[in-house]
A = this chain, B = another copy of it.
Amino acid sequence: MVDKQQLIHFDSDYLCLAHPAIVQRMAEEVLVPHTGYGCDEISEHARQRIREVCGCETALVAFLTGGTQTNAVVIDALLASYQGVLGADTAHIGMHEAGAIEAMGHKVITLPSHEGKISAETVDSYMKVFCGDESWEHCAQPGMVYITFPTEYGSVYTLSELEDLHAVCKRHRLWLYLDGARIGYGLAAAGTDVTLKDIACLCDAFYLGGTKCGAMFGEAVVIPRAGIVSHFFTQIKRHGALLAKGWSCSLQFDTLLSDDLYFKITRYGVEMGQRLKEQLVQKGYRLLQDSPTNLLFFVLDNRQLTLWRRLATFDIWEKRADGRAIVRLVTSWSTREEEIRDFVAQV
């Protein structure tokens, strides 16, 4: 029988509470009084650090708790009530957020995608057909393009793809919003030519993910041109997303952005992923699609699946009619090198 405690965990990048430096910092602050609701000095310091790494001095920066919440708050803040958001048919907001976007009244309009990405061409043709159609005024008006970086399939947009999306959004008056739940892993992706400053330059809004990149919880929203939203504080509160002890979240980002920690640990997470990928491929396992990040998708037959499940925990993404399964392996800042070694040795 399988001892669950002995299994190797490739389920997700939010398996462990937090990077130890964060809890260390919490211990130091534990009895120091602070002003509530993000109006404290730690939060201000963290906001300043984020503006610096993003290269946008006047950005609005706000700290929220989790990804679905952040998507709902940002999308709702940027869209008028009658507007919808365009996203890949594989997008998290359409698939796995329990209708949180629709709960605020906005339609999620799906576009065909490739390896989790949507192209500027797809957006452009959608908008041309939409605006050219006689019944377009009878439809939810597209107001934003939502992308993930890296995508739900571990792929990353190239700089040129982002520039094209930026241009097509500008042309059709759509906001470009980048969900950065795993942005640290995306920026550390093998061969990527995208920097955080590029993202800040090309997107109307995005967030630096904390939960999946070493924080206990928290996502840092960045809106480079602060003037495009109004009363963002009130809107956060209205979503039930305002933390009384705002510094409990911001001190995590303040810590992660000290000494490049955020980027060091996500780079490490990607290294673990790439090492795992290469060794499994060498052993003959078949990738669903190549991935330069910490999210790996393999196509397993039944025998392989049974073997893997005896050794590790991971998500079964899809069960195919032919009996094969698509499985997802995730590495992270908390993956240990011996986990990779032990798993590979046994499969």
Q: Are B97 and A138 closer than 8 Å at their CB atoms?
A: yes
Candidates B16, B24, B72, B237; contact of A137 at CB < 8 Å? B237
Chain A at the B interface: SS class: loop
Cross-chain contact B65 with A99 (CB below 8 angstroms): no
Known contacts being A217-B243, A231-B137, is A237 close to B97, with CB within 8 Å?
yes
Q: Which of B26, B102, B137 touches A106 (beta carbons < 8 Å)?
A: B102
> In the complex, which of the residues B104, B140, B245 contacts A14, with contact meaning CB atoms closer than 8 Å?
B245
For A68, A81, A315, the residue with the greatest tally of chain B CB atoms inside 10 Å of its CB is A81
**Chain B residues with CB below 8 A from A69, complex form:** 240-241
Is A211's CB under 8 angstroms from B245's CB?
yes
Which residue in B33, B76, B103, B105 is a CB contact (below 8 Å) of A9? Answer: B33
Asked whether B20 lies within 8 Å of A31 as measured between CB atoms, the reply is yes
A2 an interface residue at 8 Å Cβ cutoff? no
Within 8 A of B (CB), among A174-192: none
Interface residues of A (CB under 8 A from B): 9, 11-12, 14-18, 20, 23-24, 26-27, 29-36, 65-73, 76, 80-82, 84, 95-100, 102-108, 132, 134-135, 137-141, 211-212, 216-217, 230-231, 233-235, 237-245, 247-248, 315-316, 319, 334
Extra pairs beyond A96-B135, A137-B231, A217-B244 (14, CB < 8 Å): A15-B34, A17-B32, A65-B240, A67-B244, A68-B242, A81-B104, A84-B99, A99-B105, A99-B107, A99-B140, A100-B240, A217-B245, A239-B240, A240-B241
30 A–B contacts, CB within 8 A, in A order = A14-B244, A15-B36, A16-B31, A16-B33, A17-B30, A17-B32, A18-B26, A26-B26, A33-B334, A65-B65, A65-B240, A66-B244, A80-B230, A84-B99, A95-B139, A96-B135, A97-B138, A97-B240, A98-B139, A98-B140, A98-B234, A98-B237, A99-B105, A99-B139, A102-B107, A103-B104, A103-B105, A137-B231, A139-B234, A211-B244
The 4 closest A-B pairs by CB, nearest first: A69-B240, A99-B140, A98-B237, A98-B238
